[in-house]
Structure 1
Amino acid sequence: MPEYVPARGFKEMENLLRLYENQRNIYIYFYGEKDKQGRSWCPDCVAAEDTIMSAFRSHAPADCLILVVDVGNREFWMGKDNAFRKPPYSVDGIPALIHWKGVERLDGDQLLKKSLLELFFEETDSRKSNAVTQ
């Protein structure tokens, strides 16, 4: 089963990436901050959450790490100096899912499509990739 590690904000995310970067296959899931009722200010994040969480359980590699990153409130997210928007992350919209140290990513409405999520995890599963090349 994948390991889920929450990260609140940019600094915490970067610290966790340094901690885990050489240990395993890492995915980063970016979403808008949630209120006390557990609901994000981002309507797209709310719409995609069930599909994304289901895909994590059903299709993510069992040995992977999923960093679940809270990008902050709407005001912070919309700020022009937002570090999430700069390389190497280049997250222009949320929700977003990237394969760390890979080129694969899904953004926005793509995260509503179960078939895209299944393909995303199939393509990024290092165990399957290694088996094909050996």
Structure 2
Amino acid sequence: MPEFVPARGFIEMEKLLKLYENQKDPIYIYLFGEKDKQGRSWCPDCVDAEETIMTAFRTNAPEESVILMVDVGNREAWMDIKDNNFRKPPYNVDGIPSLLHWKGVERLDGIQLTKKTLLELFFEVTDPKQKD
């Protein structure tokens, strides 16, 4: 089963990526809007995608992969285009939810994360064991 690692915000995500930089197995970055005390995100697209993406993580992500579960903050922080480091290179994330393959070019954004077949293909393409 993949290792799920929570991260709150950009700085924490960057620290974790440094920690895992020598990992040979895939690392995925899942970005979503901050959740309230009931576990519900302010981001309606994140809420819509959550069940599908979590199922895909459990059933399709490579066994030894690491999934950084990154809370991008509240709506105000996310909408701050000027100072939001998630929106700048090398990440260039325009919307959430987003799923990135770290050190790869593959990514899914928004409504794509509600599509089971796209998620299956995403993990198939990014799994190094599938390429052998």
TM-score, length of structure 2 as denominator length: 0.97
- Partners of 2:58 and 2:26 lie apart in 1 by 15
- Partners of 2:14 and 2:32 lie apart in 1 by 16
Q: Which residue of 2 aligns with 1:36?
A: 37
- Partners of 1:21 and 1:28 lie apart in 2 by 13
Tell me the amino acid that sits aligned with residue 63 of structure 1: E
Q: Which residue of 2 aligns with 1:8?
A: 8
Q: Which residue of 1 aligns with 2:99?
A: 97
Tell me the amino acid that sits aligned with residue 21 of structure 1: E
Say which of 88, 102, 108 aligns to 1:106: 108
- Partners of 1:26 and 1:88 lie apart in 2 by 15
Task: State the shift of 1:22 in Å.
Answer: 1.0
- Partners of 2:127 and 2:20 lie apart in 1 by 17
- Partners of 1:128 and 1:119 lie apart in 2 by 11
- Partners of 1:106 and 1:63 lie apart in 2 by 20
TM-score, length of structure 1 as denominator length: 0.96
Say which of 120, 123, 126 aligns to 2:125: 123
- Partners of 1:59 and 1:19 lie apart in 2 by 24
- Partners of 2:128 and 2:16 lie apart in 1 by 20
Task: State the shift of 1:25 in Å.
Answer: 1.2
Is 2:72 the partner of 1:71? Answer: yes
List structure 1 segments (4+ residues) > 4 angstroms apart after TM superposition: none
Query: What do residues 99-129 of structure 1 show as CA deviations (whole Å, max 9, x unaligned)?
Result: 0000000000000100000000000001112
Q: What is the aligned residue count? A: 130
Q: Which residue of 2 aligns with 1:85?
A: 87
1:77 match: secondary structure: helix
Task: State the shift of 1:98 in Å.
Answer: 0.5
